[in-house]
Amino acid sequence: MSDDFKRKLKQYADGTLPDGEREEMEREIAKMEAYQAYLDEMMDGGDGGRKPEQPIEDEPREAKKERSIIRRGKWKARFVNTLTVLAVLLLVTVVSSVITGMYYGTGEPNRTAIYRDVVTSAVAVSHPNTSVHLNGQGNAFFTMDLKGKLHKRVGDDDVITGDYSVRFLLGLASSPQISRMDEGVDGKYTFVHPAFKQAAGDGKEASHADDGDWATLEKLPEGTVAEAFLSFGKLFETDELLGLFENKNLQPLWFAADTGPDSWRNDSGVVPDPVGFPYWPVWHESDRKVDYYKEEKSGWFGKVVMSGGSYPALNAYGDGELRNENFLNTLSLLRSYKSVAKRMVPFLDIDSSIGYIEQNGVKLYGAVVTGPVKELLKLREEPWITRLQVGEVRLWNWTDR
């Protein structure tokens, strides 16, 4: 080792080496892996240089100092590399967060609102008497979470039945994570399609096969309200069905729509995965009538938009055409974002369902209703109702219609 190199090492250790020479010295130290390994072997008592029996205290002072300088350089290099990795990771996180915010927050409506609408619509058409209220939260690395509570109506109360969440990676959605608090899991409550009696070939009218559920209603206290899943003996137009509920002290909640023979099982007529629409429509941005709109500049390139609008008003027991149109618009929205909708409703053949409804119209074979138990029992005398299943039951919380 030359005297000049030793001098620079000492200046480097003392922190007096000029910046240009310090960088050159650090590069030289980084290249000395073989020399460091050799020194490590000496320190461990190997057979190079220092003899095993030679005490470390007997090593020359210069060797100790050189070893200390190189060890310090090694740890400094490790520290610099660690800081570099952390800085790059922080930079990537910040940049990805900015890109994520721009991706989900741009547009009118923005992508967060659109994806929220798609997920909300998918739940509304595929889960009888179930809605979800979602909040969007953007993350780093191009992801966004939509999370919310599942609700259903029992009597006059909205009941929380579970949690719902789905993660987006840009335009790709994960399968939803559903955690239910109630017993009404998918598949427990079903409908029977009226076409089953023709397929059976026995010529018999459908009967109240589930006498156990009517008996359950009879045993419930009068001061309770319940949710009921009704199957009909025929297909109804929307206005026609709404008219049948007009003078009843009940609240319709959800309607099961006929989407073709493939939707029900030939062996029992049970529709395992019903598709339909809620009594209170899921309005979309395209349904909103803008009554007020104003833009104001904010800074050099920004602007603040203020607007107000309203959605169509509905007759409580009418406006079937408008309800049907909203149902088809909802299905069309799911078709426009088919990859997302397929994750939310994997059993729904959107193209086939829309094609069948456009050809045959919206026809209803079942409904979910709620109301006092004594009013639900009166439905047993209605010839157009062939089957009833009792859903959720709550203590009295009802205002007469």
The tens digit of pLDDT for each residue in 282-318 reads: 998 888 877 666 666 665 555 566 666 788 888 999 9
CA distance 333 to 335: 5
Q: Give the residue-averaged pLDDT of 94-118.
A: 84
Q: Give the residue-averaged pLDDT of 85-106.
A: 81
> What is the DSSP track for 279-322?
SS----GGGPEEEEEEEEEETTTEEEEEEEEEPPP--TT--HHH
Q: How confident is the model at residue 12 (pLDDT cuts 50, 70, 90)?
A: confident
pLDDT of 3: 74
Query: Contact, 330 vs 124, CB < 8 A?
Result: yes
Is pLDDT above 60 for 395?
yes
Higher pLDDT: 27 or 210? It is 27
Characterize 163-192 residue by residue with b for buried, 16 or more Cβ atoms within 10 angstroms of its Cβ, and e for exposed.
Answer: ebbbbbeeeebeebebeeeeebeeeebbbb
Is pLDDT above 90 for 154?
yes
The tens digit of pLDDT for each residue in 240-287 reads: 999 999 999 999 999 999 998 877 766 677 888 899 999 999 998 888
pLDDT of 324: 96
pLDDT of 205: 45
Q: How confident is the model at residue 208 (pLDDT cuts 50, 70, 90)?
A: very low
> What is the DSSP track for 1-47?
--HHHHHHHHHHHHT-S-HHHHHHHHHHHHT-HHHHHHHHHHHTT-S
DSSP code of 246?
T
pLDDT of 32: 65
Question: pTM here?
Answer: 0.72
pLDDT of 249: 95
The domain limits of the chain are 3-105, 127-180, 191-395
pLDDT of 110: 86
Q: How far, in Å, are 108, 333, 348 from residue 285 at the CA level? A: 10, 11, 23
- Please tell me the least confidently modeled range out of 189-203, 307-321, 345-359: 189-203
Is pLDDT above 90 for 396?
yes
pLDDT of 153: 95
Is pLDDT above 60 for 105?
yes
Query: Contact, 225 vs 154, CB < 8 A?
Result: yes
Q: Give the residue-averaged pLDDT of 75-79.
A: 81
Is pLDDT above 90 for 202?
no
Closest among 306, 285, 288, 289 to 297, alpha carbons compared: 306
Is pLDDT above 60 for 198?
no
Average pLDDT of the chain is 82
Is residue 124 classed exposed, middle or buried when 0-12, 13-18 and 19+ CB atoms within 10 A define those classes? buried
Higher pLDDT: 52 or 150? It is 150
Characterize 371-399 residue by residue with b for buried, 16 or more Cβ atoms within 10 angstroms of its Cβ, and e for exposed.
Answer: bbbebbbebeeeeebbbbbbbbbbeeebe
pLDDT of 63: 65
pLDDT of 275: 95
Is pLDDT above 80 for 363?
yes
Higher pLDDT: 134 or 48? It is 134
pLDDT of 89: 84
323 alpha carbon, distance to own chain's centre: 26
Q: Give the residue-averaged pLDDT of 40-67.
A: 55
CA angle 135, 138, 143 (to 5 degrees): 115
CA 392, 393, 394, 400 dihedral sign is positive
Hey, is 376 helix, strand or coil? Answer: helix
Report phi then psi at 305, rounded to 5. -105, 130
CA distance 207 to 213: 13
Q: How confident is the model at residue 163 (pLDDT cuts 50, 70, 90)?
A: very high
Query: Contact, 147 vs 177, CB < 8 A?
Result: no
pLDDT of 126: 93
